[in-house]
Structure 1
Amino acid sequence: MPSINALAETAALVGDPARAAMLAGLMDGRARTAGELAALAGITPQTASGHLARLTEAGLLAMERQGRHRYHRLASAGIARMLEGIMAVAEGAAPAARQARSFGPRDAAMRAARTCYDHLAGQLAVALADAMVARGVLELGPDGGAVTAAGEAFFESLGIPMAHPGRGRIFCRPCLDWSERRPHVAGVLGAALCTRCLELGWVRRRAGGRTLLVTPEGARGFREAFGVEVPAAP
């Protein structure tokens, strides 16, 4: 069990506005350079480098080198889950005037569909989770999830193999959606579903953030495969 000091140190690292902005900028699962993260946080590259060193040393970030460039990303899905949880708590602790508004991002497109690190989130993801449970291809409880026998055939038909990679990560679990306050699918299965939707061209990333835009092919695919009506992005 982590010590109280370790908990306080982690909270202090995330609590700095510049570091929080850089961590939030990595919630789409992609890696970014120090310069890109500095721009997101509104600070100089030199200041960003110091913050990034502290976050990496604490295990919140991982750094990869490619040629002359250094790329930073969240160290694990667990870090993303922690950040998403803090965002949800922060919204709930807001003053009453803010609570009267809906939770989560104000951007309608981001509320509709986005990534939560490496899996789908937003209204689209919650609708897909509901549809999969209703169709009996997925069992989703408060603490975990499982693919049924019918679900294995369903996911295979979508081009998502059911072989577990066996790297210690949970295969399927619920993740409380930041804006919808209901679960979407995370874990290995959630990541595989997100990757497949991108491969099929059902969703595409909007530049510069976590937002996903549903394509006309996606609107048709989600309707035919999941029975979910999702409007295509204009």
Structure 2
Amino acid sequence: MKEGPNIAGIAALIGDPARANMLQALMTGVALTASELAQEAGVTPQTSSFHLSRLAEAGLVSLRKQGRHKYYSLADSDVAALLEAMSGIAMRTGMTRVRTGPKEPALRKARVCYNHLAGEYGVQAYDSLLARDFLVEDGEQLHLTGDGRSFLTELGVVLPEKETKRRPLCKSCLDWSARRSHLAGIAGTSLLSFFLDQGWAKRVEGSRIIEFSRDGDSRFHAIFSL
């Protein structure tokens, strides 16, 4: 008998089309009900509850009760990173949806990846911080330098004094469309919150798309130039 993690079990759970659609819907970072996820997956509410129970037991989603309602979300950023990486592999190997649709270019440009900015804009921000030595890659580790912290703080991005082992300050996440890294971790979440709070960008309802205003677009490119 083979030993170690059972990746086949996790792969089988994610590999079911209905469950895969539910998990992708939760990549917006917004908690959804079983009924809402049933619509995303194209299944009945009863079937949706069965799938969500399986995902919860495996630790892929978490459940929060509020009154009579139950809300589901991804268990943590590690699950989101796994889904993003799998999406990148699917793109690379040609396993794409039959119809891309009109939202495809906007998703590639800027979108939310669980709780941080992804797409071309996410990659550009990452590359810009890296080029100015505000971020430093050390093997698989990513660090925010003192100058990087000062830069983001002066910009208005709120950062904690200390990071935790469970949630690091900086983490690279492989972007499925650009197939390069964008910034995750607390800094990535705080940076996206800054863009939204400043009114530079907004989330498109019912989608992962992040839409920058004309002024926000201009400010973004001025600050994160390459």
Trace 1:36-75 onto structure 2 (pairs within 5 A). 36-75=36-75
Corresponding position of 2:126: 129
Distance 1:111 1:141 in 2: 27
Aligned partner of 2:78 in structure 1 is 78
Counterpart amino acid of 2:140? D
Moved more, 107-116 or 188-197: 188-197
Aligned length, in residue pairs: 220
Q: 1:148 is matched with which residue: 145, 148, 159? A: 145
Instruction: Flag the structure with more relative contact order, 1 or 2, with Cα contacts below 8 A and sequence separation at least 6.
Output: 2
User: Partner of 1:91 in structure 2?
Assistant: 91
Distance in 2 of aligned mates of 1:21 and 1:163: 37
- 2: CA distance, partners of 1:73 / 1:195: 19
In structure 1, the partner of 2:196 is 198
TM-score (structure 2 length as normaliser): 0.89
Whole-angstrom distance in 2 between the partners of 1:64 and 1:148: 36
How far has the Cα of 1:154 moved from its partner?
0.7
Aligned to 1:187: 185
Alignment match of 1:139 (pick from 136, 140, 144): 136
Offset of residue 196 of structure 1: 1.6
Q: Deviations over 1:205-224 (max 9, x none)?
A: 11112111011331232134
Q: Does 1:210 align with 2:208?
A: yes
Q: 1:106 to 1:216 in 2, by over 3 A?
A: closer
Q: Which residue of 2 aligns with 1:7?
A: 7
1:164-221 Cα offsets, whole Å, 9 max, x none, are 2425222212211111111111112111111221111121111112111011331232
Alpha-carbon distance, 1:65 to partner: 0.8
Helix, strand or coil for the counterpart of 1:26? helix
- Name 1:25's counterpart in structure 2: 25
Mapped contact 1:27–1:74 kept (Cα < 8 A): yes
* Contact in 2 for aligned 1:201/1:217 (Cα 8 Å): no
Q: Structure 1 residue 227: deviation in Å?
A: 3.1
CA spacing shift, 1:182–1:5, aligned 2, 3 Å = closer
1:143-182 aligned at under 5 Å gives the runs: 143-159=140-156, 160-166=158-164, 168-182=166-180
Cα distance, 1:50 vs structure 2: 0.7
What residue identity is the alignment partner of 1:56?
A: A
Given that 2:159 and 2:186 are in contact with CA atoms closer than 8 Å, whether structure 1 keeps it comes out as no
Task: Report SS of the residue matched to 1:207.
Answer: coil
CA contact (8 A) 2:128 2:225 kept: yes
CA distance 1:143–1:180, shift in 2 (3 Å): same
Q: Confirm whether residue 120 of structure 1 aligns to residue 117 of structure 2.
A: yes
5+ residue gaps, structure 2, are 97-101
AA aligned opposite 1:171: L
Native 8 Å contact 1:141 1:174 kept in 2: no
Give 2:42's aligned amino acid. Answer: G
Any conservation in 2 of the 1:202–1:218 contact (CA below 8 Å)?
A: yes
**Offset of residue 162 of structure 1:** 4.4
State TM-score, norm by structure 1: 0.86
* Residue 190 to residue 217, structure 1, CA distance change in 2 (3 Å): same
Identity of aligned residues (%): 42
Q: Tell me the secondary structure at the aligned position of residue 199 of structure 2.
A: coil
Which residue number in structure 2 is paired with residue 231 of structure 1? none
CA-CA distance at 1:108 after TM superposition: 0.4
